[in-house]
Chains A and B, each alone.
Chain A
Amino acid sequence: MGLLTEILNTLAKVLVLPSFYYMIIMSAAPILLAALACAIALKANAINMGTEGIMTVSSLVAVLVSAKLGGAAAGGPWAGLAAAIVVGAILGFLVSVFAFRLKIDIILVGIAMNLIGTGASVFLMYVLTGDRTTTTSLSSGTLPQVTIPLLKDIPVLGEILSGHYILTYVAYILVFVMSFLLFKTKLGLRIRAVGENEDAAESVGISSLHIKTIALVISGALGGLAGAFMSECYLAYFSSGLIAGRGFVGLAACNMGAGNPGIICICCLAFGIFYAFSNFATLSNLSIYALNALPYAVVLVGVVLYSIYTRNKELKRLQGLESEEKSDTGTVARN
């Protein structure tokens, strides 16, 4: 109980700080990107558990390419971003090849991808930079921060919404793009059709293999974007523990939102609150470890609450069906 009141006390303290809200938006962005990556795959019924590994590799690639081209002054971060997206897409394609062409359980492909990703990134870092833990010796730079002209002059709102890294805005714009893609385009319809009933989709001439591959390539590219965010916005370097389970948290958010971008965005912002919270540890008497564990605990509780909600909804639907059936049979009997 003491822990809970202390959490609430600290929340009350930080809730008045605009920088706290800034932090929420910023720390939710990589999770959001990862969750969107999982979402498009999930909609095609291909759980991409390898997002964590894809993020790790692409975050390193972004840093390496950027540093090679001369850092922020020479536009290196942009090239790094492009490289990260391409690498992510290639890895996504590889996942699809192993899962659908070579017929491996896609969850196990994801686990293997994470294994290879963490190993390969550290190995690559060592071979190319001679460093075993971080790339702080490289001057890779960050992507630019954007100040929005009129918005920045509004007192509190400007402080919260303006001045983010460009990828943060991209992440939130992608929520709408993804909604549009999934629900308003031909490709989106096909992805959802394949996800819901592969055989039915095949019967009307959709190649489920192609659609799933496309979904995973897009998923990988988004994972690459998330990786680039971590090493070119969140921090300005790559380190071996950089991603720290954000790919998995994204997967959790995606599961809670059942692949719907809008709900996913809300979930990610909710997780973002607790990620941001752990950055304000100095304001609190709470142990830093309790604060660090908080986002994961919140995800856990969130997933459980969401399952209770869906289960109740399902139960109600079934009860409704049952009562309808009863009244139907009743009328039949009377006739």
Chain B
Amino acid sequence: MSENKQMKKSFVTLFGGMDVETRFGLMRMAVAIAIGLGTAVLLIIIGARDPIDSLKYFFLGPLQILNPNVAKGIGWNYFDQWIQFMIPLLFTGTAVSIMFSANKFNLGLEGAIMCGGLACAWVCCLLDGDIQAANASPVLCAVCGLGVSILAGALITLIPALLEKKWGASIMVTSLMLNYISLYISRYCLFSTTLRDTRTSKYSWQWTEDVVLTFRKFMGTRFTMRLGLFIGIIVVLVGWAFLFKTKWGFKIRQLGQNPSFAKYVGVGIISTGVIVQIIGGAIGGLCGATVILGNYNYYYGVELTGYGWDGVTMAIFAGNNPKRLIPAAAFIAYIRAGASIMATQPGGPINELTKIVEGVIVLFLLAERFLAKTHRKMIVEEAKKKQALKLETGKEAAE
């Protein structure tokens, strides 16, 4: 009898130990993802010439390394694509999580990424590239490039922050405009300044291959080692520690949850708001630089990357908690890699469908009223269970 109760108790601590909200959150996420993937399946069936084949690539694409029928080289490339898509999501997710935690809707991340990449490329060209033979060591070059990119990115998000602080200009509007201005600055630098490689006229001058943060055929294996992934994970972890384990992070979250209370307890709400945006932009700049240094040894930024908007998606997925960013980024990168592998197969539909899937998942994740009835039922059940448990233990004590 008592053994049974013991077991029941341990079961309760295992599953019931998670409070109702967490359990419900997990369930809602699962349902939202299921709806999103359902949409994907539907779209693939509509769009693909051979739906079964396309679905196989969509769901199992990045895992084709495990498939003995697929050539190992291609399998590893597919796997690498997954990693490659994951890197910017880690950075931008952290940046937006930090900014949204303070309720600052600075959408200038896109511009920060653009300018960060550009600044980094320029520094690399100057230090160790074709423009001037300064011949710095590759490590110094990469470090300088990443450092400058942080400054450039911070500058881009600092502008809307200061404009709001000084004159109350809407952050949303000014930051959106800065994205487009950054894009044209980047195009201008790439095509109309000494940065342009006069031989190709499409890209910038090159820097040495040694600065590239990617090591193909790492240690003789087929694995492509991307340092960017590690930088990204470090950024996520530092971002999490900053937001949840430091005084500053506490202030930031306080500001986001209740600005009046934050002001009352002495948080400098204006300076905190500005600092949050500087941090966000700095991470964005670093993201741009990591992506640029991680792919080729020249600069090619002529279109907005869309990573800034991805950051918003990621922050929503992670509920503004960087800790959850790694699985979230892995998931989104996985479906993106799957879609892009599928799109390269003959007759495969276009990979843009992931945007629809992401949008759908975001909407259902955020919908407060979605599954509200189930939520209520879960709470009631939980309460009943607790009451029953209380009664039982009460009886036991009486006996």
Contacts and interface: CB of A to CB of B under 8 A. Distances in A.
B180 A98 contact: no
Interface string B155-190: 000000001000111101110111111011101100
Contacts of A132: 350
A104 B176 CA distance: 22
A226 interface: no
Interface string B337-368: 00000000000011011111011101100111
A252 B177 contact: yes
A263 to B, nearest CB: 15
A293 B363 contact: no
Identify which of B172, B173, B178, B359 gathers the most chain A CB atoms within 10 Å of its CB. B173
A119 B353 contact: yes
Contact of B309 (A111, A120, A251, A287): A111
Interface string A226-268: 0000000000000000000100110110010000000000000
A213 B300 CA distance: 44
A303 B169 contact: yes
A293 B184 contact: yes
Counting chain B residues whose Cβ lies within 8 A of the other chain, the interface size class is: 35 or more
Main secondary structure on chain B at its contact with chain A?
A: helix
Interface string A299-312: 11001101110110
B107 to A, nearest CB: 8
A252 B370 CA distance: 32
B359 A123 contact: no
Given A103-B368, A116-B360, A255 B170 contact: yes
Contact of B359 (A112, A292, A310): A112
A245 B349 contact: no
Nearest to A47: B172
Contacts of B354: 119
Given A98-B363, A115-B355, A311 B177 contact: no
Given A108-B316, A119-B355, A119-B359, A307 B366 contact: no
Identify which of A107, A112, A118 gathers the most chain B CB atoms within 10 Å of its CB. A112
Interface string A90-129: 0000000010011111011101111110111011001100
B370 to A, nearest CB: 6
B352 A122 contact: yes
A245 B304 CA distance: 11
B312 A111 contact: yes
B165 to A, nearest CB: 11
Contacts of A111: 309, 312, 362
Interface string B38-74: 0000010011000000000000000000000000000
A290 interface: yes
Contact of B356 (A120, A296, A306): A120
Contacts of A248: 173, 176-177
Given A114-B309, A123-B43, A123-B353, 11 more contacts: A103-B367, A104-B366, A116-B355, A119-B359, A122-B352, A123-B47, A245-B176, A289-B192, A296-B177, A299-B173, A306-B169
Q: Which 6 A-B pairs have the closest CB atoms?
A: A119-B355, A293-B184, A116-B359, A103-B368, A289-B188, A102-B367
Interface of B: 43, 46-47, 105, 163, 167-170, 172-174, 176-181, 183-185, 187-188, 191-192, 309, 312-313, 316, 349-350, 352-356, 358-360, 362-363, 366-370
